[in-house]
Chain A
Amino acid sequence: MSKSSLSDTGATMVAPGAPTHQRARRRSKRLKAWFPYLLVAPAVLYLMLITLYPGVYAVIQSFHQVKFGPWQPVGLANYARLFQDHQFWGAIWNTLVIGSFSLVLQCVLALAVAFYAYRDPWVKGWRIIFLVPMLFMPSAVAFIYKLSFLDARVFADLLMRVGLIDGNIAYQSSIWMSRGILILADVWQWTPFLFIIFVAALQGQDEEVEEAARLDGASWYAIFWNISLPMMKPVIAVALILRAIDITTMFTNVFIITKGGPAFGTETISYFIYRTGFKFFDFGYASSASVVMLVITVIVAQLVVKRAFISARS
């Protein structure tokens, strides 16, 4: 058997002309079929290392009690505890409340400012000015707001000077005012992100359609509502999704400005995971929260993000 197969290969190797050629070509064809996979593989493997590996790790860890000592298998105990944990549900609620207020405000403001800016002859200059907040490190922005609201109380002082309030404001004792500071900091820093995208979309629209509508007597507001806005829908969807991803993972501002307080009223999901894992070293429990978030992320990605990105391209 082995002898004959050996001699077979020997024969083909020695035989000149057509057969070798064909085989080589077949091999290069097979290589060609694999070539695109080879190109994309390193990136995919690298990303798996930071998504798939941690995902599996978190799932396994979530079935264990991991506190200082060795891992103790505890079955579903972490999840049972998680679903009864008011702080966990509170963190989800806070994330949704802070996130949706912040997202809606940013979107409306960015659309309004873009509407007034895109036809202006100095739109390039406005764009540079409006971009500035986005280019500060988020940790620096958090300190700007911590200082002006809490430590130096500039905001309250300014309100007092115009006579809107007398005395100080105790933000830290009010859940809604603390949330308000987080929302304001996010709106201030990230409205520019949406603005830049919206202005580009408005500038990219078909000028002839605009012109025709204007000659028919349509006002700029009517054109914006009836022509520009429907045209921008896919772009708005993509921009809002990107923003929503970052808002729902909000951490830096919470960490620096409110530390989740008062009464856990500003604790976001990211801060909850950080606090249980890296403050209480209850890693198994924190991992169960991570897994729940992971499942939600995957579902939302499949249902919403995929559709939005595909429709933005076509």
Chain B
Amino acid sequence: MASQRKNSRGESLLLRYAILGAWALFCLAPVLWFLSIGLRPRTEIITPQPIYWPSFSLDAWHMIWEDWPMAKYLRNSVAAIFGSVIIDLVLAIPAAYSLARYTYRGRDDIGFYILSTRMMAPAIVAIPIFFLFRNVGLLDTVWALMLVYAAINLSFVTWIIRSYMLDIPKELEDAARTDGAGDLRILWEIIIPAILPGIITASVIAMIFAINEFLFTLLIASTPKAYTMSVALANFTGGSDGLIYNAIALVAFLAFVPVFLVVVAIQKHLSRGLTMGAVKG
């Protein structure tokens, strides 16, 4: 009833659904078409006339597991991503606690410095970081990717967690403090359980950015030894035959499905996470 009354003035439902429907089509049509690419034989991809109703084939599925070390790329991705998220949490939780709960000289400048690292263009720091990893012998390893992903996401993770910490009423801590609990114990036993949704949101967003990362991975993983899914995609070529699009499409969906499920699960917190806590969704 309420929604009916709301629509009584100024706007027709028809226009609203026309616009929302058109946008949904714009979002989904390329995705469905790309899915159809992943499930068709290679001969029906690049043709003089595009084929809209291809024959079904699992060629690409067999190809990605048999012709390429797909399992290894997956393992690399998972190791680098989870490792980086763990590094981020270990560094970000104390830092966020410090920024949210103490007043001291230089606090706001430190906070802004952490935030501003988000602005660094990967291309600016790519060359020095490339040489840094080469000099310490970490080039072309999953360890290097892990360290870089952690660095890219640290500002995001810190600010998201800080925003959630600011929401916890101080009384909760004061009560524990009068019971004689120290600062670290309060952080561990009271704050962290209370901001668990924030920690999960931050981890999910860090995970997405790590999966997406392309430029650093391209430079650091110079051979297939340390390829992740994101960069492996760009190397699905059959030499003179050009790009193998059905394999590319299938790998894209392989990475998409878990990300989609996780994001739907934390949907409520997403807007807050994406703005580093500036919007309380």
Query: A-side interface residues toward B, CB under 8 Å?
Result: 33, 35-37, 39-40, 42-44, 46-47, 49-51, 53-55, 57-58, 61, 109, 112-113, 116-117, 119-121, 124, 126-133, 135-140, 143-145, 147-148, 151-154, 157, 188, 192-193, 196-197, 199-201, 203-204, 214, 219-222, 234-235, 238-239, 242, 245, 248-249, 251-252, 255-256, 269-271, 273-274, 277-278, 283, 286-287, 290, 293-294, 297-298, 300-301, 305-306, 309, 312-313
Q: How many interface residues does chain B have, given as a range?
A: 35 or more
Residue of B nearest to A110 (CB): B23
**Cα of A117 to Cα of B24 in the assembled complex, Å:** 11
A-B pairs with lowest CB-CB distance, top 9: A140-B252, A200-B271, A219-B10, A54-B128, A200-B281, A39-B98, A270-B123, A36-B102, A43-B95
Q: Which residues of B contact A128 (CB under 8 A)?
A: 264, 267
Q: Tell whether, in the assembled complex, residue A33 and residue B124 are in contact, meaning their CB atoms are under 8 Å apart.
A: no
Interface 9-residue window, one of B61-69, B108-116, B169-177: B108-116
Contacts of B251 in A (CB 8 A): 140
When each residue 91-103 of chain B gets 1 if its CB lies under 8 Å from chain A and 0 otherwise, what string results?
Answer: 1101101110110
Residues in B with CB closer than 8 Å to A193 are 274
> Inside 8 A of A126's CB, which chain B residues have their CB?
20, 24
**Nearest Cβ distance between residue A56 and chain B, in whole angstroms?**
8
If A137-B212, A140-B255, A192-B27 touch, does A47 touch B233 (CB 8 Å cutoff)?
no
Interface string of B4-28 (1 = CB under 8 A from A): 0010011100011001100110111
Q: Which residue on B lies nearest to A238, using beta carbons?
A: B278
B250, chain A: closest CB distance, angstroms: 10
Contact among B16, B127, B234, B242 for A139, CB-based, below 8 A? B234
B9 touches A214 (CB 8 A): yes
Q: Are B116 and A305 in contact (CB under 8 A)?
A: yes
Which residues from chain B contact A256 at a C-beta distance below 8 Å? 234
| Chain B, residue nearest A33 (CB) | B104
> Given that A138-B212, A152-B45, A297-B124 are contacting pairs, would A54 and B129 also be in contact in the complex, using a CB cutoff of 8 Å?
yes
B120's contact among A35, A147, A297, by CB below 8 Å, is which? A297
Contact between A157 and B49 (Cβ–Cβ < 8 Å)? yes
Inside 8 A of A33's CB, which chain B residues have their CB?
A: 104
